[in-house]
């Protein structure tokens, strides 16, 4: 069977690419349903893009690589597509756009766009082998127990990263890239919770606090969530993409709060109030209890000198922590690293050394922040390859 283009992976990038490909296109996926990560994303409402998306929100060994694709298919283009399909949406926070209804609407929209482009979709289909041939590429596929020999001029690697293997994530795109001589940068779990082997935050599990989380490379002002295993929440997931094993991080638990001035004022007017009672007006009470022995939080407000208040505020502003590790690919939202962008054209996503071979989406070494950026990369890179084919 001959197709002009075969796209491996019916995820966000693969479906977007298929919607823009000319000629006869086949999309294959080993899963029973397309776009499974879209379905579970954003708590079932899919944070499908971010109004503030720009190249600075993406990590890559080559930070310039994503610019062309992002500029040629922007968040506004995707919002326009969503509007044309009559899907209602809202901004939640920080420019993050979600469906009012369900993420399934985004999947249905992409399937409709693929159908309009005349693309075929084979689910429950696995790739047995692929090689270069006169036609371009020869693939041996297995679909529900039957083997199919397929040839194509263009082959698109769109099987995503290694995050959440129980949802069918595999390293196939990376393996095939290597098979065709493209290099793959170091990959690691990203947008992932931190773990602490001593379980020190167990008693705080479920407590959330607005925080500024920083290390030498990045800083994020978002919620910090304590868990049985360690730390999670948006601030942690964001920083995890910039963290390496063994490094410490710093948490400011009172970002933007004029706590020193407040404590001093309260000392004047309510000097007999316990220090911990006053702190619990600004921080979750369970967190104050937790911090009490370490910071020596004793006595009433009237007992605290200016120097002591300064010391307490400094400790709350700069809490140093060294995570043991992360929860790994089991819960990571994305994979950092991937197919080396040096091997690809930033305009078309085509491999420079293998004409007809394309790589898009999370499989490529371009990783977005939390907040709709990763889907935007899937749409933009899928569009770049699809329109080039
Ligand atoms: P994607 O993973 O979507 O698709 C790859 C496809 O290839 C899958 O359908 C898979 O079954 C298939 N495949 C894999 N291996 C194969 C093989 N060997 N053979 C055949 N098929 C194979 N991002 C965002 O911007 N906003 C959000 O709200 C969220 N939320 C979110 C929640 C959770 C829980 C996760 C895990 C991730 C997110 N993300 C996100 C990230 C986002 O889902 C991700 O970056 C994109 O789906 C990547 O799109 P791709 O098409 O590249 O891969």
Per-residue model confidence as pLDDT tens digits over 162-210: 999 998 899 999 999 999 999 999 999 999 999 999 999 999 999 999 9
Q: How far is the CA of 31 from the centre of ligand 1 (A)?
A: 12
- What atom in ligand 1 is closest to the CA of residue 164? 36
Ligand 1 pocket, residue 47 CB under 6 Å: yes
C-alpha atoms less than 13 angstroms from C-alpha of 119 in its C-beta half-sphere: 28
* Across 284-292, average pLDDT: 98
The mean pLDDT of the chain is 97
ipTM of the complex as predicted = 0.99
What is the value of pTM for the model shown?
0.97
For range 347-353, the mean pLDDT: 98
Residue 103: its pLDDT value, please?
98
Give pLDDT tens digits for 241-280.
Answer: 999 999 999 999 999 999 999 999 999 999 999 999 999 9
Per-residue pLDDT at 144: 87
Which atom in ligand 1 lies closest to the alpha carbon of residue 160?
A: 53
* CA 65–ligand 1 middle distance (angstroms): 21
Residue-wise pLDDT tens digits, 108-158: 999 999 999 999 999 999 999 999 999 999 999 999 899 999 999 999 999
Kindly state the percentage of the chain with pLDDT values over 70: 100
CB of 350 within 6 A of ligand 1: the answer is: no
CA dihedral (66, 71, 76, 78) positive or negative = negative
Q: Which residue has the tokens 């995820």?
A: 11
Q: Is 27 in the pocket of ligand 1 (CB under 6 A)?
A: no
pLDDT at 141: 98
**Any atom of ligand 1 within 6 Å of the Cβ of 141:** no
Q: How far is the CA of 38 from the centre of ligand 1 (A)?
A: 7
Can you tell me the mean pLDDT for 225-241?
98
- Smallest CA-to-CA distance from 97 within 109, 110, 106, 84 is with 106
Mutate to test the pocket of ligand 1, among 14, 17, 37 (most ligand atoms within 8 A of CB): 37
């Amino acid at each position: 069977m001959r197709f002009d283009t075969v796209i491996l992976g019916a995820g966000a990038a693969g479906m977007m690419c298929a919607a823009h490909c000319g000629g006869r296109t086949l999309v294959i996926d080993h899963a029973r349903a397309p776009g499974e990560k879209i379905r579970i994303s954003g708590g079932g409402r899919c944070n499908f893009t971010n109004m503030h998306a720009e190249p600075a929100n993406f990590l890559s060994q080559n930070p310039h690589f994503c610019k062309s694709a992002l500029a040629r298919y922007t968040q506004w283009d995707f919002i326009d597509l969503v509007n044309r399909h009559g899907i209602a949406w809202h901004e939640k926070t920080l420019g993050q756009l979600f469906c009012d209804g369900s993420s399934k609407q985004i999947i249905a929209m992409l399937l409709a766009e693929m159908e309009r482009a005349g693309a075929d979709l084979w689910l429950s289909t696995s790739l047995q082998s692929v090689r270069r041939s006169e036609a371009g590429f020869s693939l041996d596929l297995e679909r529900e127990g039957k083997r199919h020999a397929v040839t194509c001029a263009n082959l698109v690697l769109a099987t995503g990263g290694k995050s959440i293997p129980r949802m069918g994530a595999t390293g196939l795109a990376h393996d095939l890239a290597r098979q065709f001589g493209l290099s793959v940068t170091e990959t690691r779990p990203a947008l992932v919770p931190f773990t602490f082997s001593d379980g020190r935050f167990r008693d705080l599990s479920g407590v959330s606090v607005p925080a500024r989380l920083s290390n030498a490379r990045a800083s994020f002002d978002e919620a910090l969530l304590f868990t049985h295993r360690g730390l999670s929440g948006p601030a942690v997931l964001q920083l995890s993409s910039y963290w390496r094993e063994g490094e410490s991080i710093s948490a400011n638990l009172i970002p933007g709060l004029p706590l020193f001035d407040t404590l001093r004022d309260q000392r004047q007017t309510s000097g007999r109030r316990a220090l911990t009672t006053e702190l619990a007006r600004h921080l979750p009470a369970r967190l104050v209890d937790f911090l009490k022995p370490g910071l020596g939080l004793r006595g009433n407000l009237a007992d605290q000198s200016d120097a002591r208040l300064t010391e307490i505020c400094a400790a709350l502003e700069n809490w140093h922590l060294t995570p043991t590790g992360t929860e790994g690919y089991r819960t990571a939202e994305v994979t950092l690293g991937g197919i080396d962008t040096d091997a690809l054209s930033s305009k078309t996503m085509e491999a420079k050394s293998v004409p007809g071979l394309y790589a898009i989406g999370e499989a490529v070494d371009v990783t977005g922040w939390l907040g709709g950026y990763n889907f935007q990369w899937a749409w933009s890179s899928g569009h770049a390859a699809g329109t080039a084919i």
